[in-house]
Structure 1
């Protein structure tokens, strides 16, 4: 009796299999302890197959991080005034709450790709800051927000949003934290 036959997959499908296996391990709390050996075992591929797609574990983690950021952006698209009037204060609040929810749902993966040695070796460009800055500027153009300096304000608000997610993950009352965050956002951006 020989080895079971491995099904043939197109390269993108095989790569996705490896990515999803790594995400499962990270989400289960493997974090920094996840090794290439663990990923190939979970994916059911040879180590050589892993290295065909990802020269290093960091390359895999970068792929996962890019995937997570895209997943959030697709799930929480930013509207435009072309689609109709935008309630800019509500948009900032809903995006902040969506970030908290998303962060909590992807906790293990997020720790590995945003708060680890990997994240220090390969820092992420300030995607969330740029996104929030763009929303603040658009809200200012629509005269929904006051005259704040958009980029530094976005940095500080992002820090507060991120801390709220961390606090809820640590067991702080979610409703109280979200209420305080919404109040902070409204007061900071008030016209």
Structure 2
């Protein structure tokens, strides 16, 4: 790995740590981290999926998105608005279940990219990666990134992305600890 690339990835982890330390919740940390990941990796777009409050084993696509070229993933965004990923379903559900990043090098050839049948979902999408945000041993969110061209897995990037997910998990850990301190609610 070129020395410059390694420095960029280490800087990404430091930036994610800073964002996690300053954020009040996962949704608030999501967009800044997505932007930082896209800037450091060259991936074109990213978005946040959160657990459904009624069933935490289902992850829902949110409106928290970043595209380096706004509108370049409009078909995908429209196709998956509010999309629900079952635990283990698609790369988002697999990342949530396994607690590890999941890479789809070419979504057009990946049966696990379960959004493929949705109209517009593959427009301009080459590769995808989903990585979980782990808090208290479970996925509290999943961040997903996209490129326009297929991209083969990169072990070092997967390692850094897993570490970024752990850093973001600290936000959820702080939220849970704060809620525990307030329980039971004042009467």
Regarding TM over 0.5, the answer is no
Q: TM-score, with normalisation over the residues of structure 2?
A: 0.28
Q: Which has the larger radius of gyration?
A: 1
Larger strand share, 1 or 2: 2
